[in-house]
Structure formats: C-alpha cells, structure tokens
Amino acid sequence: MDKKLFQAMHKLFNPRSVVVVGATDSPDRVGYNILESVLYGGFKGKVFPVHPRLDTLQGLKVYPTLEDVPEPVDVALVAVNQFATVETIAQCGRLGIKAAICLAGGYRETGADGLRLEERLISTAREHGIALVGPNTLGLINTGADFYSTFYPLRLPKGRVSLLSQSGGLGLTIMHKAADEGLGINKWVGVGNRSTLEMSDYLEYLAQDEETDVIGIFLEGTEQARDLVQTAARIVKSKPVVIYKAGRLAATEYAALTHTGTASGSYQMYRDILMNQFGVLMVDSVAELVAACKALSVSTLPAGGGLGIVTHTAGPSIALLDSATHQGISVPPLQQETINQIKDVLGQNPPVVLKNPLDTVGVGFAPDMYGRVVNAVLDDPGIDLLVAIYCLHKNWRFPSSELVAAQQRSGKPVLAYYVSTWEGCREDRQLLQQAGVPLYISPDEAAGAVSALVHYGNMRGREKHAG
Amino acid sequence: MDKKLFQAMHKLFNPRSVVVVGATDSPDRVGYNILESVLYGGFKGKVFPVHPRLDTLQGLKVYPTLEDVPEPVDVALVAVNQFATVETIAQCGRLGIKAAICLAGGYRETGADGLRLEERLISTAREHGIALVGPNTLGLINTGADFYSTFYPLRLPKGRVSLLSQSGGLGLTIMHKAADEGLGINKWVGVGNRSTLEMSDYLEYLAQDEETDVIGIFLEGTEQARDLVQTAARIVKSKPVVIYKAGRLAATEYAALTHTGTASGSYQMYRDILMNQFGVLMVDSVAELVAACKALSVSTLPAGGGLGIVTHTAGPSIALLDSATHQGISVPPLQQETINQIKDVLGQNPPVVLKNPLDTVGVGFAPDMYGRVVNAVLDDPGIDLLVAIYCLHKNWRFPSSELVAAQQRSGKPVLAYYVSTWEGCREDRQLLQQAGVPLYISPDEAAGAVSALVHYGNMRGREKHAG
C-alpha cells in the first residue's frame, strides 16, 4: 500500500493526542462513552474534550471549541450528529488534523438525503487529506497502544490477532467470544460506512502491521466480497486471513471468485477451492472464526495434513474425527513402529485400541503416561499435528506440562481439547496458550482449528516450494 | 414401558442405599473416585464401601465383603475389574440386590474374549433380574436425588433437562457446556455397552419421568439409530427429544428412517423430514444440542413459525437471520399497524429501518425504550416468537426485566441474544432463564434455539389439531 496512507493509518491506531468533539456529561450519550472509553482503556497520550459550556469532564479540562485546543492533535473522535460531523471534519481540515473517527449514523444507510450528506463528508475529508474511519461506526481499538476509541468502554487481553468487522455489534460478539476463549486481540475496527477508508485499506494496513500475526474479518451481505477475497488471497502469502461472511455467498459469486467459470458447484465446493487453492480461510460462524484465529495465532503450522488424535475416552474423539473428516482432514493410520512404542508405554496387552484416534482407556488417565503416548504418536512420520483429548477430573491434573513439552520436543503443532468448562481449565489454558498449544473445549471448535492450520499450512508449504 | 422395569429403573436413579464394591484409598483409582463422587454430590442415603482389608474410607466404615453389609442395598456400584465384576453381579443376585452400575471396560469393545465375558455378565444379570447400567460406563447422575455415581466427582446445577450419552466423555462435554450456559440438568447417563439396559429403555424411562421435561441424546456411530429414532418419534408427542449423532447418518439410513424408500436425497433433506414430519430434533454439534435443550426447557412453545428480531445493531441480526433462514425459519414482514406503533415509541422520523429484523439504532439503546419496541413487535399477529439482541455496555443495563415482562404480557416465546461474555451477563442470565427467557451469546446458537422451538412447536400443534 501507499506509504503515505500507511503512515496516516499508523497515526490513527497510535495517536499521541486525541480530541473528543461532542464530549458530554450524560452517561446515556455516545459523547460521554467515547471519552470514558479512551480513559478507561488507559490511553497514555493527551486527551482534549470539547464542549461549548462545560469546564471539566471526567477529571479533564474541557475546551469550548476545537480551535481552542492548545496543542497539535493526531486524531479527532467525532461524537456529534451526522450534520455537525460534516462541519467538524471541515474544521479538522482547517486545523491540520489528518485523521478522524466519525461515530454518528444517518448517512447512506438511511436513503437519498443521507447519501448526499455522506458525499459531502467524503469530499470534505478528501479535500483536506483526512483519513476517516466510519461514519456510522463503533470506532476502533489498538490494545498495543491502550487506545480504545469505541463508545463501549472496554479493556481487552492483549494479543496478536486483529479483527475487522463490517458490523460493530457482530465485531463485539467476536471480541467477547475471543475473551471467553483466552485469545488476545491487537487491533479491532468497526469499519462502518467505509466512506474514505475501505475494508481493503484496513486489510493492507494489517498485512504490514508488525503487531498483527493473524487477521479475522466479518462481512455483512454480499457487497465487495470479490475484491476483498482477492486482496486476501494476496495477503495470505505472508499472513493468515480468516473470513466469516454472513449471507453465505451464492454459487454464482463463488464461481466468479474462483474463476471456475461455472456456477453449478455447491457452496461447499467453492469454499473448498478458496481454502485449498487460495489459502483464504472461509468460516460460517463466530465460533469457527475465533477457533481458527486462535489456532493460527497460538500454534506453529504443520508441515502436512496428517492429524493424530490421542484420547482416554472414545466419544470426544469420534465427534472430533467426524467433524474433522467432514472438513477434509485426513486421520492416517499409525505405523507399526509407533504402535510398538505405545505398547512399551502402556504395557504389552492393554485394552487399548491401537489405531488413530488412539484411545488409551483407563491406563492413560495418568497425565505422565498420557504425555508419553502423545510423544510416541508425534514421532510417527505420517502425523503432522495432534489433538490431545483429556477430561477434567477433581483428583487428576490435566497433562498440560506434558503437552507443552511434547510440542517443543517434536516441533509439530499440538492442540488440546479439554473436556471441561472454561472455569475448570482457566489456569491450564493460560499455560498452554502462552506456550504455543491452543486449547478448546468442544470437538467442533477443535476440528475447525485443525482445519485452519492444515489448510493454511498447505498453502504456505506450496508457496515455499514454488518460491 | 413395563411397570416392573420402570420401578427397577426408578430405584437405580433414586436409591436409598448403595454399596461401593472395589472402593479403595488411592485417588488415582476409579474405586476411590466413585465413592468420593457419591459423597461429594451430597447423597442423603446410606453408603457402604467394600474392601477386603481397609477399616475406613473417606470417613465411612468399610465392610470386608458384600455379604458383610448389614442392611438392604438398592444399588451396587461395581468398580472392580471386568472379571471380578461378573462375580460381583452373581453375588448381588444371591443377596437380592436388583440394580448395579458396572464401570469397568474390557468386554465386547476389546474383541472375542471380551464379548464372551460380556455374555456371561448379561446372563448372570438376567438370571437374577438385575437392572445393569453399562458395563464400560462412566455411570449415572440424578441431581434430583443428589445421586452422583460416576467416577468424576461433580456437582451440577439442578434443572429439568436429562441427557443420555453413548459416550461418557462426550456426555461430560455436553454437561460442561450446559453448565457454561447456565442450563440445569436433572438426569445424566453414560449408557456404556448397554448389556441389559438399552438406550431405548432409558429413553422410555425419561419419557415417563416427572422430573424430566426435555431429553438430549448423543449417539456414536450408526448402530441402532433406526429403532431409537422411531422410539423418539413416539415420545416427542409428549416430551421433546434432541439427538446429536456423530458419524452423520448416510443417505441410505435416512431413507430407511423416514420411509421415503429412496436414498437419493441429501443429508439435509432427510434431516428436515425428521424434524418437520416427525418432530425429532436432529443436531450436528454439542453447541446445537445444548442450545436446543435450553430453549425447550426454559421457554414456552410458539403457536407458529414467524420469527421477529429486534436489535439496536445490524450485524448480529444479519448473522442471526442468515443462520435462521438457513434452518428454514421464516422472518415475516411487520404489519403497518406494528410499524405505526414503533414510530409512536421511537419518534416520527427516526433513522430506524422499519422492517423485520427491526433495528432501533441509537434511539433504542435505552432499555425501557427497547422494551416498548419489543412489545410492539410481539403484538404483531404474524410474529410467533422473538429474539431480542442487545449489547453489553459498561454504563447501560440490559433490558432483562423488560424482556421478561414482554414475554409474560404477550404469552409468546422471547429469547435473548446478548452481545457479551458469559461473565458479563451472568446475573441477567439467571433472571432471564428463571423467568422463561433463554439467553444466548452467539447468533448461531440463538438461531438453533429458534429452530428447535419452531420445529417442535409445529409438531405439537399438528398433534393437537389431529387429536
């Protein structure tokens, strides 16, 4: 992307100072909450609230107009109505403020009058070279700079996944699900009406952003999917992109996207082409999006697609196997050498079913014994990554330290599916995920994670061999 | 079902006294944990541990043999190995103990020798008329009697959903997901090898059980699905049954189940027939199973299939709409009268999109305003049930009391989808679910809940009119 635009966007996410136009003292109002959001999030830069009559707000000195702010401002947070927003952007232009986040709705989404107003907003921003987020947006977050400019005061765990959402509300759903899953976020953008900054601008920015390892996207409706997926297909060569698209694409749209020239295939077929040939990960739910982003953020990539499964209880492995094979993942048989090693660990004549998935039954309940079996399976040349299934038990610990050691020893990705509540495995989750082992508590989400790692790993592998 | 069998099973779930054969002092062992499970769960009846040498275990007097137990025993918990289990069952027979839960594996699942041993177990149990759970099972739970006879010591929130699982481990996953969702459980059974008690026996028992309102089932593999689904199709006329089947049924199996005489249809088509014609709810994941059971347990049934959606943020409603229409749910337009009422609430010229889903945008953020809009939509004759979407906000409360009032006022089912973490809406969840409003935090699970209510409501409606 254009270096100047990159720098302007960098300032948007990392301002040294912000002004809040429309700050107010009523907690019902957006103008109150955007100011609180900045302060509550722990922003280290300067904050200048603007209100025509108030003296102080939330402990800060208030300035009667934008002109009265005594220092240079990097980003204007604009929380006035749609008409006053246009005037504010013009004022920003005159004062040399080069970036603005415009919260108010009431533009093109409301009809012809709104569209005309939005066109005025766009031309004003362009005239002054202002990078404008929104309008009609919840705002944006950069946890790396403790900068929370949404009108939902929040604090998020820090991480290296960044999220773009065409919807603020669904973006919040994704954010909350990530928090429930112990997944840290770096940047989050509700892109709103995308008057000047397009979804693809944010995507290009995140592709170059050194704090972002994985990009998750939520798209509403069908517009622009084609351009965006094509941009994503370029970016995935260096950084994974996971797309959740509501209003699932019609076959004709997929046909266009994949250049197959035919619209006769199924949704699943086109989705598979995007995943397998282009390496763009397409998912159908919030849960799948977060599962995939977590896997790609926490784990290394597998060198191939052979999934090993180790469990001490059959059912969860059957549900995982079902879900994974449904997503095209192969669960190859174990080699005789591997089976011999497992016999050495578990004893010569165990009631164990010696295949993949490997069910250690009773004898494998002991975490250390279980860890040794996991090592043996990871040593199998046909196994490229492994899911370890273990049940929460009041008197037995999880094999977390063994799984971390096994992952480090083998260099292959290890994922855990613990049969538990989140509360029951909170401490283990932190240990595992910090050490590179993503944790899930449902078979479907574990299968989605495996699918993301395998599809993305395959694409990167092809790129490497081609280059 | 046979009255004698019902009474025997009733005693299994509601014993006055239990003996633990194979109780031991090592926390690694099943025999330790099954005893702890009974005590930890708060069992009010008498507990007699049996061990040849120990004097006391976990504060209880120990008996050297089963014969030494001085009082009548309702249920034997058998935690010795597969060979000793057969002897123990014979002993139970001689002592008049009529019910047993056999935990050890090592039977038919291990091959020909194991099968022969299981046949001996079965004939011994039959000879003495013993109702036998398992073998090769985690055990069973009845929260209504504080009776936890699994070797995973647990305490669960009480409720009116009962679960049958062909797998202990996946049954635990379902149980934990239910706990995370604030869904109370009444009975839970890991059915194991089903040597004497079949899945359909448990199903028939739960159908008659006054403490169970909703039955959830997990099935592994493909065996016996036909008989079971046919039993379920009879039971659903009085009580909902939700089935999650791993190893999704092949088209031929569906064809047999639905008597369509053809195997040319898709998985989805056969699933729809089971749902629409038979009223048996078929789901494909743990999340869907729990979402459906929660809806059917917490909510009333809708009189028809028209879904209304009210939101103050577009994206979540689009994701919900997408997922619900994908499951065959209709989201009808609102009547003019309804739209006029909403205009009265929100003002004459709001930037609101006056259709279904109804997006109140900014003006509807206030919980009381939002509640009034929900009332207006529920009054629409085309709307049979409603999902209310609302975002967690640090300074604004959820409209929970309004939703409860709206549900009571209209008599129509109201579901909530709160954009939040579970931690963020824990208190509201309790308020809502106790008052009949099931709460979800993902669009897909909310859509699954709607689908369950509509499909089951339709079937019950047809039954009523036919009867």
Q: Do B110 and A33 touch (CB under 8 A)?
A: no
Quote the pTM value: 0.93
Strand order in the sheet with A185-190: A147-150, A139-142, A185-190, A158-165, A214-219, A241-245, A281-283
Q: Do A169 and B389 touch (CB under 8 A)?
A: yes
pLDDT in tens, A218-228: 988 655 567 78
Contacting B residues, span 83-142, partner chain A, CB-CB under 8 Å: 105-106, 109-110, 114
Name the nearest CA neighbour of A78 among A127, A121, A142: A121
Chain A CB contacts of B171 below 8 Å: 315
pLDDT in tens, A360-419: 887 778 888 899 999 999 999 999 999 999 999 999 999 999 999 999 999 999 999 999
pLDDT greater than 50 at residue A262 = no
pLDDT score, position B11? 95
Contacting A residues, span 365-424, partner chain B, CB-CB under 8 Å: 365-366, 389, 391-396, 419-424
pLDDT in tens, A182-200: 999 999 999 999 888 989 9
Give the confidence band of B261 by pLDDT, cuts at 50, 70, 90: very low
Chain A CB contacts of B169 below 8 Å: 311-316, 389, 391, 419
DSSP single-letter state for residue B108: G
- Of A146-150, A199-203, A460-464, B206-210, the range with the lowest mean pLDDT is A460-464
pLDDT score, position A228? 82
Chain A CB contacts of B389 below 8 Å: 169
**How many Cβ pairs closer than 8 A exist between chain A and B?**
207
Residue B18 · residue B98 · CB < 8 Å: no
Give the orientation angle of helix A400-410 with respect to helix A426-434, to 10 degrees: 10
Q: Which residue has the higher pLDDT, B252 or B105?
A: B105
pLDDT greater than 60 at residue B249 = no
Q: Do B315 and A166 touch (CB under 8 A)?
A: yes
A434 token code pair = 């910090």
pLDDT greater than 70 at residue A251 = no
> Which of A421, A423, A425 to probe by mutation at the B interface, max B CB count within 10 Å?
A421
Q: What is the mean pLDDT of the segment spanning A322-348?
A: 90
Burial of residue A70, with CB atoms counted within 10 A of its CB: 0-12 exposed, 13-18 middle, 19 or more buried: exposed
pLDDT score, position A261? 43
pLDDT in tens, B404-444: 999 999 999 999 999 999 999 999 999 999 999 999 999 99
B310 beta partners:
B358, B388
Q: What is the mean pLDDT of the segment spanning B252-272?
A: 54
> Which of A33, A164, A176 to probe by mutation at the B interface, max B CB count within 10 Å?
A176
pLDDT greater than 50 at residue B251 = no
The single residue listed with the structure tokens 């907003």 is A121
Contacts of B357 (CB under 8 A, 6+ apart): B309, B310, B311, B314, B317, B318, B320, B321, B331
Distance in angstroms (rounded) separating the CA atoms of residues B467 and B446 = 31
Option in B176, B247, B313 nearest A420 (CB) = B176
Whether cis (ω within 30° of 0) applies to the bond prior to B351 is no
Name the nearest CA neighbour of B454 among B257, B302, B310, B285: B302
Residue B330 · residue B306 · CB < 8 Å: yes
Name the nearest CA neighbour of A209 among A63, A433, A1: A1
